[in-house]
């Protein structure tokens, strides 16, 4: 089969639609959301109406039935508009809806996936705990079966959408004696007895994203809300591989936004009688930014294409995630440099890009964890 680097007409149209939506529906909200550190919840039904929350899900559940490449096109556009808002959308679709679709019973799909795709219910994934991040097998949350319920006890932290989510997919041990293998996943609704949002987390960047800490104190979860039983955790986590690719696409979008701003600024700003873009020190920087962003983009779409074809892409997904994370941080730092003192001022968006970029190497598996995965895939 020949190599084809072109997006389809449908994908190009999708990109235009996502871009217009970002401009018309998201951009006007950004300043307020960043200032108040609040996600604009009213966006979810609008996103649902446009089909943006169901890109990869089948039409029978209200999805659009498209592929991972299209999902990445959307994530890239959202990353360009606002990193915090993009992160909440990704957490909802890739981290909460995806495992519900992949592992859920028909009843669970009707109850959580269908309204999730429509943007009427917001989802989150609760894996990380105060004492367990990268080492997810060390979580302490426990679920004990009592009659037709599970009783959950534990704390989850750094949960995207945590404060506003209607339901959270929660990882908990059902058998502590089996490390990793004894973990199960549950769908926990906001209103379940014993569930509490214990606090909102304030962050360096991604200010528009909702990030919370959740506490389960003898939280009662009906047995039908068990999503993946023991032994399924590893499978579930491996399935979240797609989230890593989407995360990388978002990083590419963020880098592109920082680059475009710096490029335009360099043409407008004059020093020593000419635009600063005419200084080789600046133009080479911009050329390097363009090269790195394009490289990251190629890696993202290759991984997305492999994923869509059902081919193994563990290495490629981690490579794309790692590289895009490093690129967005480097590009954001250089964008600040190109703006000089103005890059440091809050009136310009570049300081936000700089703050937002740092997160890319911390979530969905840190850059160190991506190195470990890639090395493992290399047989080391
Ligand atoms: C804004 C934000 C949103 C998040 N959203 C979610 C969410 O929705 N759901 C969720 O469950 N979690 C979420 N997280 C948590 C995130 O996934 C974790 O922060 C991440 O997995 C790292 O865990 P940690 O912070 O505990 O760091 P640690 O695991 O303590 O790691 C600390 C440092 O040690 C390094 N390290 C750890 N182990 C190794 C190793 N074996 N080899 C080399 N280096 C290593 C790490 O790379 C890192 O640099 C979010 C985090 C943030 C900041």
Same domain, 244 and 373: yes
* 96 part of a folded domain: yes
Cα of 156 vs centre of ligand 1, distance in Å, is: 13
Same domain, 245 and 351: yes
CA dist list (Å): 272 to 261, 262, 275, 278, 338: 21, 18, 8, 11, 15
Closest by CA position to 97, among listed 73, 120, 125, 78: 125
Residue of 37, 126, 134 to mutate, ligand 1, most atoms within 8 A of C-beta = 134
Instruction: With 0.95 as the threshold, say if the pTM is over it.
Output: yes
* 1 part of a folded domain: no
* 2 part of a folded domain: no
Same domain, 261 and 357: yes
Say if residue 237's pLDDT is above 90: no
> Could you tell me the residue range of the domain that residue 223 belongs to?
125-230
Cα of 30 vs centre of ligand 1, distance in Å, is: 27
Of ligand 1's atoms, which has the minimum distance to the CA of residue 201? Answer: 1
Say if residue 344's pLDDT is above 90: yes
Query: From atom 51 of ligand 1, which residue's Cα is the shortest distance away?
Result: 158
Same domain, 208 and 248: no
Same domain, 97 and 138: no
Residues touching ligand 1 (Cβ under 6 Å) are 91, 95, 124-128, 133-135, 158-160, 203, 206, 211, 359, 362-363, 366, 368-369, 372
* 28 part of a folded domain: yes
Residue of 99, 171, 366, 376 to mutate, ligand 1, most atoms within 8 A of C-beta = 366
Query: From atom 26 of ligand 1, which residue's Cα is the shortest distance away?
Result: 133
Say if residue 2's pLDDT is above 80: no
Residue of 200, 329, 362 to mutate, ligand 1, most atoms within 8 A of C-beta = 362
Same domain, 325 and 301: yes
* 27 part of a folded domain: yes
Query: From atom 38 of ligand 1, which residue's Cα is the shortest distance away?
Result: 134
Domain edge (last residue) among 200, 230, 260: 230
pLDDT category at 238 given cuts 50, 70, 90 is confident
Q: Give pLDDT, residue 153.
A: 98
- On the CB side of 199, CA atoms within 13 Å amount to 7
Cα of 8 vs centre of ligand 1, distance in Å, is: 36
Say if residue 180's pLDDT is above 90: no
For the segment 257-280, what is each residue's pLDDT rounded down to a tens digit? 999 999 999 999 999 999 999 999
Closest by CA position to 172, among listed 201, 129, 202, 130: 129
Cα of 152 vs centre of ligand 1, distance in Å, is: 23
Domain tally for the chain? 3
Same domain, 261 and 211: no
Closest by CA position to 41, among listed 6, 87, 85, 81: 85
Say if residue 358's pLDDT is above 90: yes
Residue of 128, 318, 364 to mutate, ligand 1, most atoms within 8 A of C-beta = 128
For the segment 198-219, what is each residue's pLDDT rounded down to a tens digit? 999 999 999 999 999 999 999 9
* 371 part of a folded domain: yes
CATH number for 217: 2.40.110.10
In whole angstroms, give the CA distance from residue 14 to residue 3: 22
Query: From atom 18 of ligand 1, which residue's Cα is the shortest distance away?
Result: 133
Same domain, 74 and 139: no
Domain edge (last residue) among 230, 252, 272: 230
Same domain, 31 and 115: yes
Query: From atom 23 of ligand 1, which residue's Cα is the shortest distance away?
Result: 133
Q: Kindly state the percentage of the chain with pLDDT values over 70.
A: 100
* 3 part of a folded domain: no
Q: Give pLDDT, residue 236.
A: 86
Q: Give pLDDT, residue 225.
A: 98
CATH number for 338: 1.20.140.10
Cα of 361 vs centre of ligand 1, distance in Å, is: 9
Beta strands in the chain (DSSP E): 123-126, 142-146, 149-160, 167-173, 183-189, 195-200, 211-222, 226-228, 270-271, 274-275
185-191 mean pLDDT = 97
82-101 mean pLDDT = 97
Cα of 58 vs centre of ligand 1, distance in Å, is: 32
Same domain, 368 and 258: yes
For the segment 16-54, what is each residue's pLDDT rounded down to a tens digit? 999 999 999 999 999 999 999 999 999 999 999 999 999
Same domain, 284 and 256: yes
Cα of 49 vs centre of ligand 1, distance in Å, is: 33
* 347 part of a folded domain: yes
Which residues are designated catalytic? 364
Same domain, 116 and 134: no
Query: From atom 30 of ligand 1, which residue's Cα is the shortest distance away?
Result: 133
CATH number for 32: 1.10.540.10
Domain edge (last residue) among 211, 230, 249: 230
Closest by CA position to 54, among listed 136, 127, 132, 109: 109
Closest by CA position to 230, among listed 192, 188, 177, 194: 177
Are 343 and 335 contacting, i.e. CB atoms less than 8 angstroms apart? yes
């Amino acid at each position: 089969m020949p190599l084809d680097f072109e997006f389809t007409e449908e994908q190009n149209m999708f990109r235009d639609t996502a871009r217009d939506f970002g401009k018309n529906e998201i951009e006007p909200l950004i300043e307020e959301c960043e200032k108040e550190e609040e996600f604009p919840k009213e966006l979810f039904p609008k996103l649902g109406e446009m089909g943006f929350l169901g890109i990869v899900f089948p039409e029978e559940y209200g999805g659009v039935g498209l592929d991972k490449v299209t999902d990445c096109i959307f994530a890239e556009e959202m990353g360009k508009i606002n990193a915090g808002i993009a992160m909440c959308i990704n957490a909802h679709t890739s981290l909460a809806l995806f495992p519900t679709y992949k592992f859920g019973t028909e009843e669970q799909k009707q109850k959580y996936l269908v309204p999730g795709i429509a943007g009427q219910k917001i989802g989150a994934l609760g894996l990380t705990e105060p004492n367990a991040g990268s080492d997810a097998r060390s979580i302490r949350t426990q679920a004990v079966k009592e009659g037709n319920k599970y009783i959950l006890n534990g704390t989850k932290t750094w949960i995207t959408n945590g404060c506003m989510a209607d339901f959270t997919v929660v990882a908990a041990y059902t058998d502590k004696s089996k490390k990793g293998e004894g973990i199960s996943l549950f769908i926990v609704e906001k209103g379940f007895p014993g569930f509490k949002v214990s606090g909102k987390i304030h962050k360096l960047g991604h200010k528009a994203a909702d990030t919370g800490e959740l506490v389960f104190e003898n939280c009662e979860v009906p047995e039908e809300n068990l999503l993946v039983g023991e032994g399924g955790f590893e499978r579930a986590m491996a399935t979240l591989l797609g989230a890593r690719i989407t995360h990388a696409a978002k990083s590419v979008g963020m880098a592109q936004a920082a680059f475009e701003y710096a490029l335009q600024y360099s043409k407008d700003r004059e020093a020593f009688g000419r635009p600063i873009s005419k200084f080789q020190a600046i133009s080479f920087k911009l050329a390097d930014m363009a090269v790195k962003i394009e490289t990251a983009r190629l890696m993202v779409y290759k991984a997305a294409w492999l994923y869509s074809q059902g081919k193994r892409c563990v290495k490629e997904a981690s490579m794309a995630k790692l590289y895009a994370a490093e690129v967005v941080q480097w590009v954001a730092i250089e964008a600040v440099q190109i703006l000089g003192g103005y890059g440091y001022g809050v009136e310009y968006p570049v300081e936000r890009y700089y703050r937002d970029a740092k997160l890319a190497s911390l979530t969905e598996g840190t850059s160190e964890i991506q190195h470990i995965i890639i090395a493992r895939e290399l047989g080391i």
